[in-house]
Amino acid sequence: MKQNISQILQANAPIDVEAEGWIATVRTSKNVTFLALGDGSCAAHLQIVIGENTIERTLLSQLGVGAAIRCTGTLVPSLAAGQRVELQAQRIDLIGAVDPDYPLQKKRHSFEFLRTIAHLRPRTRTFGAVFRVRHALQMAIHRFFDDRGFIQVHTPIITTADCEGAGQMFHVTTLDLDAPPRANGAVDYAQDFFKQKALLTVSGQLEAEVFALAFKNVYTFGPTFRAENSNTARHAAEFWMVEPEMAFCDLAGDMALAEAFMRRIISDVLTRCEADMDFFDQWIEKGLVQRLEKVVQANFAHMTYTEAISALQQSNESFAYPVSWGLDLQSEHERWLTEKHVGRPVFITDYPRGIKAFYMRLSDDERTVAAMDLLVPGVGEIIGGSQREERREQLQQQLHFFKLNPADYDWYLDLRRFGGVPHAGFGLGFERALMYITGMQNIRDVIPFARTPGHASF
RNA sequence: UCCUGUUUAGCUCAGUCGGUAGAGCGGGUGGCUGUUAACCACUAGGUCGGCGGUUCAAGUCCGUCAACAGGAGCCA
């Protein structure tokens, strides 16, 4: 198998090699030309040295930034500082020429401009690092669960239940939208492909619970969809979510898993993507690596929602949003708690029933539910989870409390009749975790081809 | 969706008090004994986001639409 540039850069010089890739920069002087060649396999480029009269002058003039080439020659220790080895070219083949209007230049571009050329931006250093780390983070997540005996469940992407009553969902239909069949004045979904209204999933959690009650420890990791008209740096219409679910597990066990999970995936990426993480530390967010190392080392703090509210009320900070028991915590509150009050990651637990989802387990005080959010310095909430309501009667009460139709949840209620057990889980937005780990500030820049309101190009 | 801001060369930006447009990079040409986003010289490149208004005169002031960004809400 051919060697990629990552492997070539680690080879013992001198040795004859063949390198393939795209030209990142060109520097010429009278007797020598230098190319920086990249193939996405690592953050570093391979320096190619072209001596006088090595190749045809017409070929040399075609070696512009962006061109794809194959270079054969001898890998030798570099004569200059800046790289350990370099490739002395003996032969260069132009595999893919580049037109002079190639938009990427050897200078800084704005992320806004690069979003408009999503078909070319993966070749830049920043996006090379982003998508290598995205892959590494994904693998770290799978390894974490696999090491603990978790089974991954491929929960459905097309669903017929508005699972959590959360937000707008995308419809999936084969009906003619210009003239849909009607019955009793409404669209007649009985004539649709699934013979009922179908939607794109917003969460695999409810289906994951089914598998947790058969395989004990499971997780989902797949795409989810929200049709919300949210136009922010942290929202996308299509994103990936990680949702572990554990049977015979309470909220404390849930938090213990979440803490071990965060530590492990961060340390995995730090050790496996050292060069890319150094790149982010230098160019995207100063101090990033140190911030993450502190998260890996720190014991996460714990406090209840009620304790958090009183801490906020006694803080003498002036918040834009009011603080009072029963109101949800705003971003500014979460940031203050994790950054200033405790100065490390913190779990907030036992939220008021009314501001959390119907499936969360009602506590004995009947005012709070067994919910937890993990807040981390820099971003605020990164994980949300809960112990699920395993008692059938209480779950029915919760459905009534949230004005949901029990008939839509018959199979979910059934789980509480046939060997139901205490169980718990949490959800992690994959892209938000990636933003946290890379320091990238816009979710559109950690997704290969982002889907947001008004944008589904590429 | 709301608030605020931005829109000038292929890219990143400057443009003062209203008087018909500038730089760096990139492209082209030439130079340079090994460069590190190389460097030096010359050169081409513009419907100043669209439409409308004020004015003798608009990149500049006003209105409007659009795109983009930041913040908010919603959330992951």
> CA Rg, chain A, in Å?
27
Which nt has its C1' nearest the CA of A444? B69
Question: Distance between CA A347 and CA A431 in Å, rounded?
Answer: 20
Structure token digits, residue A393: 């009667």
pLDDT in tens, A7-41: 999 999 799 999 999 999 999 888 889 999 999 99
Query: Mean pLDDT, to the nearest integer, of A116-144?
Result: 94
Q: For strand B, which nucleotides have at least one atom less than 7 Å from a protein CB?
A: 1-2, 10-13, 24-29, 31-39, 67-76
d(CA A368, CA A26): 63
Same domain, A175 and A249: no
Q: Is residue A105 part of a domain?
A: no
Please state whether strand B lies within 7 Å of residue A78 at its CB atom.
yes
Sheet containing A171-172: give its strands across.
A158-159, A198-200, A171-172
Per mean pLDDT, which range of A1-5, A120-124, A288-292 is the poorest? A1-5
Q: Does a structural domain hold residue A63?
A: yes
* Cβ–Cβ < 8 Å for A380, A429: no
Give residue A163's pLDDT: 55
pLDDT tens sequence across A364-402 = 999 999 999 999 887 778 899 999 999 999 999 999 988
Q: Are residues A282 and A351 in the same domain?
A: yes
A319 plus A288 within the same structural domain: yes
Could you check: is the Cβ of residue A29 within 7 Å of any atom of nucleic acid strand B?
A: yes
Residue A59's pLDDT is 87
Confidence check: pLDDT of A54 > 90:
no
- Domain membership flag for residue A405: yes
| Measured distance CA(A22)–CA(A181) in Å, rounded | 53
pLDDT band, residue A101 (cuts 50/70/90): confident
Show the domain range for A11: 5-96
pLDDT score for A165: 54
The crossing angle, in degrees rounded to 10, of helices A251-272 and A125-147 is 140
pLDDT tier, A451 (very low <50, low <70, confident <90, very high otherwise): very high
Q: According to the model, what pLDDT value does residue A368 have?
A: 94
* Together in a domain, A193 and A272: no
Q: Given the structure tokens 């690069």, which residue do they identify?
A: A114
Which residues 217-276 of chain A have a CB under 7 Å from nucleic chain B? Answer: 226, 228-237, 239, 241
Confidence of residue A343 (pLDDT cuts 50, 70, 90): confident
A250 versus A321: the higher-pLDDT residue is A250
Is A338 a member of any domain? yes
In whole angstroms, give the CA distance from residue A359 to residue A385. 11
Q: How many domains are contained in chain A? A: 3
Q: What band does A296 get if pLDDT is binned at 50, 70 and 90? A: very high
For A200-214, write each residue's pLDDT tens digit: 999 999 999 999 999
- When pLDDT is averaged across residues A38-64 and rounded to a whole number, the result is 89
Output the distance from A455 CA to B39 C1' rounded to whole Å: 42
CATH number for the domain spanning A23: value is 2.40.50.140
User: Is A346 found in the same domain as A301?
Assistant: yes
Q: What is the CATH classification number for the domain harbouring A422?
A: 3.30.930.10
Let me know whether A35 and A172 are in one domain.
no
Residue A115 CA distance to nucleotide B21 C1' (Å): 29
Based on the domain organization, do A55 and A85 belong to the same domain? yes
Asked if the structure places residue A116 within a domain, the reply is: no
The answer to whether position A335 is within a domain reads: yes
Tokens of A42: 């690592």
Determine if the peptide bond prior to A422 is cis (ω within 30°). Answer: no
pLDDT of residue A257: 97
Query: Over the stretch A229-253, which tens digit does the pLDDT of each residue have?
Result: 888 888 999 999 999 999 999 999 9
Taking the stretch 400-429 of protein chain A, residues with Cβ within 7 Å of any atom in nucleic acid chain B are 427-429
Residues A148 and A192 in one domain: no
Mean pLDDT across the stretch A433-450?
93
Based on the domain organization, do A72 and A138 belong to the same domain?
Answer: no
* Same domain assignment for residues A128 and A191: no
Mean pLDDT of chain A: 91
How much is the pLDDT for A458? 82
**Nucleotide with smallest C1' distance to residue A241 CA:** B76
Name the residue with higher pLDDT: A57 or A239: A239
pLDDT tens profile A147-182: 999 999 999 999 887 655 556 889 999 999 889 999
Query: What DSSP string describes A188-255?
Result: -GGGSTTSS-EEE-S-SHHHHHHHHHHHSEEEEEEEEE------STT--SEEEEEEEEEES--HHHHH
Does residue A110 lie within any of the structural domains? no
Same-domain check for residues A219 and A297? yes
Nucleotide nearest to A61 (CA to C1'): B28
pLDDT for A376 equals 86
* CA–C1' gap, A232 and B72, in angstroms: 10
Please compute the mean of the pLDDT values over residues A293-310 and round it to a whole number.
Answer: 93
A209 and A353 belong to one structural domain: yes
Does residue A455 lie in a domain region?
no
The listed range with the strongest mean pLDDT (A225-239, A257-271, A405-419) is A257-271
Confidence of residue A56 (pLDDT cuts 50, 70, 90): confident
What residue spans of A5-151 are helical by DSSP H? Answer: 5-9, 57-61, 111-115, 125-147
In angstroms, how far is B41 C1' from A284 CA? 36
Q: How many angstroms separate the CA of A455 from the C1' of B52?
A: 30
